[in-house]
A and B are shown apart, each in its own frame.
Chain A
Amino acid sequence: MTTATFDMPVGAQKPSSTAGIAVALLLPIALVNAIGFILPVFNLARMSFNEALPGGGIAEAFTAANWTGLLQDSFYIELILNSIMVSLGITLATLLVSYPIALYLHRASGAWRTFLTVLVISPLLTSAVVRTYGWIALLAEQGPVANVIASMGFQPPRMMFNTTGVVIGLTEILMPYMILSLMAGFGRLDPKVEEAARTLGATPFRTFWRVILPLTLPGIALGCLLCFVLSISSFITPKLMGGGRVFLLATEIYDQAIVTLNWPLAATLSMLVLIIFGAALAVYSRVLRMIEG
């Protein structure tokens, strides 16, 4: 294929140079991104410096009051820390339950592997709302899970409308993402290396700890980043399963924007989530460098 056959859009320079083509091809998406993402983010940043009036009004201003108020308020500090801790907990739980499944899938082959992979991905075909309602039915006070626990002679704990419910629901909802990321990162795991370790006399546990785990670390890092980011920004499951007791960043942004009409504060919290995303990305790339290096 030669570049001369391309019908270049107006404004593209030097159709013969590959750099020109790259720019021309990137321009539409860059434009869409600038209008659809970067501009709104700047608007949001600007909004976070406006002044909120009681009753939902907004006054054009340039004040840092939202930011300083947020960082001095013990409720919001607790909310931010709680969001991070809950998201980390969900990420860890997702990793623990997904890792064995991903490892088994990685080792399976043929039609069996295809079947299992479809099985893992299939929950993504139903919306998170439906799956959350499913969990509500399962974890209800007189629900199946409570009945099983009760039949074993224990007092069933409250599993819904609190943090426990949110963690259980989100862990299950995020599992497909974690399994897929883990599998993508398992490429370096060559069965021959495991066999070599076993032949040289390593116990199964030692093989896992010294060979399998280090080789799968990139997959773990990727899965954890993805799940952390998804869980800290998830809104539906905490809203439905939190029972108004679990205060997280995403639900608080909704409340401030839609119920209290405090858009400046909602914008400030949104920017804060963006900062947390940035921090998570920084940690991820650092971890990745450590693994590679």
Chain B
Amino acid sequence: MFARLSIAVSALTIAAVSSASAETVTLTAYSGIFQEHYTKAVIEPFMKKYPDITVQFYSMPNSAQMLGTLRAQKSSPQIDVAILDVSVAKAGTDEGLFDKVDESVSANVKDLYPNAHAEGVAGVGVTFDNLVIIYNTDQVKTAPTSWNALWDKQYEGKVIIQAAPDIQGTTFTIISNKLAGGGDYKTDVSAGIAKIGELAPGVQTWDPKPDVYAPIANGQAALGIGWNARAQIYSGTSGGKLGVALPEEGSGFQINTINLVKNAPAGEAAKKFIDYALSPEAQAAFTSEMFYAPTNSKTVIAQDALKRTAADDMDKMIDIDWLAVAKVRDGITEQWRRRIIPLSR
């Protein structure tokens, strides 16, 4: 009911916004700090470069709500470009909501890393992010070097994890499966599930609010898992209370894709924006601003920013095939609910 309402409301707002000019590109992407930094690093320079195009940032809290809005507007789209998670982009592609982003849209497409292209997804990768350990620097004195720190008995009751079906929980399952010596995550993650089951009694909450970063920054919890880019930003804004560590066992990527909405009202202007968003220039600016790893292989980044992404540790990363995961995700969620969370009651 709530979702319906918010979709209806957002549809109205967008209708009001986009009737202003034909040269307006409406972009939908994540709200909060993503919006703040993306506007500064990509949108404002773009508008400076193309003064006749205005980019409207229509923010939403998560990919699912973006898909819901795009669905509701299928017969008369008001959004031109959508930045959302790759697995949600797959669902949108399957429903015919997007046009293909290829070299006819942007010459930068040929320079993207191979894992920025996902089979059956119309859009291409625009940011890479990865799961990290986040910790409260007052309670955890030395930076953890291994995922196993989460299982350390001294932090019992002080660990927070966002459970599946959230993709943090899904990614953590795949990492834990590797730690536990399990086989291919696409067929069987039971070793990972059993390993997280051992952690379960010491978990404070499986659904941290408002997100995982705040309770750790303010000391309600000591350790947890989160996304690198956001954690890097909060590490700065919390005055160093929040620490970020990329464990030596590596991690898994989350991929945001940029998608061109089918029958988008902005037409060529929308393609120009996508082309710019994928350019080495915009990619470098956003990496320096918010520490998402770039998807364009030609991107040149300053060393200090690069160190705060996983770009240097590409070889340690687990290659997660998100489209394969989408097929087994319901099964993973079910195992969390039956075999992990009940152990923590």
Residue numbers of A with Cβ under 8 A of B are 40, 53-58, 75, 140-141, 161-162, 235, 239-240, 242-245, 247, 254-255, 257-261, 266, 270
Contacts and interface: CB of A to CB of B under 8 A. Distances in A.
Contacts, number: 79
From DSSP, what is the main secondary structure of chain A's interface residues? loop
A270 B326 CA distance: 24
Interface size class of B (residues with CB under 8 A): 35 or more
Contacts of B220: 140
B337 A247 contact: yes
A57 B91 contact: yes
Given A56-B67, A260-B333, 18 more contacts: A54-B327, A55-B88, A55-B326, A55-B327, A56-B64, A56-B326, A58-B95, A75-B337, A140-B220, A242-B207, A243-B204, A244-B341, A245-B206, A245-B345, A257-B64, A258-B3, A258-B62, A259-B165
A141 B157 contact: yes
B209 A239 contact: yes
A244 B207 contact: yes
B1 A270 contact: yes
B67 A53 contact: no
Contact of B338 (A53, A57, A75): A75
Contacts of A40: 1, 4
Interface in B314-345: 323, 326-327, 329-330, 333-334, 337-338, 341, 344-345
A144 to B, nearest CB: 15
B171 to A, nearest CB: 14
Given A40-B4, A261-B64, A244 B205 contact: yes
Contacts of A266: 3
Contacts of A245: 205-206, 341, 344-345
A18 B146 CA distance: 79
Interface string B270-299: 000000000000000000000000000000
B338 to A, nearest CB: 7
A240 B215 CA distance: 13
B310 interface: no
Contacts of A259: 62, 64, 165-166
B344 A55 contact: no
A54 B88 contact: no
Nearest to A251: B207
A260 B90 CA distance: 13
Interface in B192-208: 204-207
Contact of A261 (B67, B163, B204): B67
Nearest to B333: A260
